[in-house]
Amino acid sequence: MQYYLETVMTEANEQLGDFLRSRRERLTPERLGLQVSRRRRTPGLRREEVASAAGISGEWYVKLEQGRAVAPSPATINALAKALLLDDVDHAHLKSLARPSHRRSFVRETVPDPVKRLVNSLEHPAYVTGQRWDVLAWNKAASSMLANFEELAMEDRNILLYVLTDPRAKTLFGERWDAEAMRMVALFRSTYDLWAEDPAFTDLISRLRLGCSRFDAWWATHEIGSAVSGTKTVHHPTRGPLRYEYVTFQANDDPRLKLAAFIPC
């Protein structure tokens, strides 16, 4: 029984450990004001240095990175965030990873009819995605700018799959494709880490790995993004370069749903 519990805990905390490791390896001793007496074989801080800065034992920190601890306390999480010099976005994500999860298996969301009608009524491109970034509703302008989602099988209607694996997306975003794809991977990572054991999410990651040669390198950095408004320039096949402001909203009916809208500027 003890072995079984430890195995379950390892699976549940794998993303927490990976996230801590990625942030530890980015830091240098100098940034923490530590004296370095000899050359190091690997970049970043040592585990014991992070543990000391956070005021916890080295053994406990090793368990956290290896995914063997049950759940660190809020005080420990805050101390680790301070020791690793995390910004507000990374700190919030670390808290989410440390929070006990009681999720059920993922089920694709359903868009309420009023939301569908709203999307269809909009003149400019708009679409609704769920937690897995499946495209659940869209208007004619979105089909014209992005892809004819109605012609795709349901399992292929996913904005990540489109941007990272569809050649049309590379043409659409042009020289900004790398930046746009990296931004989306970082945004998705914050959700994926909370669903990492769900087959629907692991299957999506497998498809992204197969379809995008750059994905593994981006994924390994464990970047965490936050949704913000901004501008995009796209290269429409018939209308040429188009510049848009984009905004996103959560639906009150179901906060899992996100509306993305594009306004010409």
Distances (CA, A) of 131 to 29, 51, 58, 241: 38, 34, 36, 30
**What residues does 126 pair with on adjacent strands?**
261
Q: Is the predicted pLDDT of residue 48 greater than 50, yes or no?
A: yes
CATH 3.30.450.180 maps onto the chain at 113-264
For the segment 11-24, the average pLDDT, to the nearest whole number, is: 85
pLDDT for res 29: 82
Q: Is the predicted pLDDT of residue 38 greater than 60, yes or no?
A: yes
pLDDT for res 222: 95
Closest CA to 227 of 263, 195, 186: 186
Residues contacting residue 44 through CB under 8 Å, at least 6 positions apart:
24, 25, 26, 27, 28
CATH number for the segment(s) 113-264: 3.30.450.180
> How are strands ordered across the β-sheet holding 135-138?
135-138, 126-129, 258-264, 240-250, 230-236
Cα(83)–Cα(205) distance, rounded to whole angstroms?
A: 31
Instruction: Tell me the pLDDT band of 6, cut-offs 50, 70 and 90.
Output: very low
Query: Using an 8 Å Cβ cutoff, are 259 and 249 in contact?
Result: yes
Instruction: Tell me the pLDDT band of 199, cut-offs 50, 70 and 90.
Output: very high
Cα(159)–Cα(161) distance, rounded to whole angstroms?
A: 5
DSSP string spanning 192-238? HTTSTT-HHHHHHHHHHHHH-TTHHHHHHTT-------EEEEEEETT
Amino acid at 162: Y
For the segment 179-197, the average pLDDT, to the nearest whole number, is: 93
Joined together, the tokens standing for residue 200 give 């629907």
72 vs 76, higher pLDDT: 76
Cα(33)–Cα(114) distance, rounded to whole angstroms?
A: 56
Q: Give this prediction's pTM.
A: 0.83
| Mean pLDDT for the chain overall | 88
Instruction: Tell me the pLDDT band of 3, cut-offs 50, 70 and 90.
Output: very low
261 vs 226, higher pLDDT: 261
Share above pLDDT 90 across residues of the chain, in percent, rounded to a whole number: 66
Say which CATH superfamily domain 2-98 falls into.
Answer: lambda repressor-like DNA-binding domains (1.10.260.40)
- Report pLDDT digits (tens) over 240-249: 898 999 999 9
For the segment 219-227, the average pLDDT, to the nearest whole number, is: 91
Catalogue the long-range contacts made by 225-234 (C-beta closer than 8 Å, 24 or more residues apart): 225/89, 225/183, 225/184, 225/186, 225/187, 225/189, 225/190, 226/89, 226/187, 226/190, 227/187, 227/258, 231/265, 232/173, 232/176, 232/180, 232/262, 233/174, 233/176, 234/145, 234/172, 234/173, 234/174
Burial (0-12, 13-18, 19+ Cβ within 10 Å), 81: buried
CATH 1.10.260.40 maps onto the chain at 2-98
- Report pLDDT digits (tens) over 94-111: 998 888 766 688 999 999
70 vs 80, higher pLDDT: 80
- Report pLDDT digits (tens) over 51-75: 999 999 998 899 899 887 667 889 9
Joined together, the tokens standing for residue 194 give 């909370």
Number of Cβ atoms within 10 Å of the Cβ of 155: 13
For the segment 222-228, the average pLDDT, to the nearest whole number, is: 89
- Report pLDDT digits (tens) over 123-173: 999 999 999 999 999 999 999 998 889 999 999 999 999 999 999 999 999
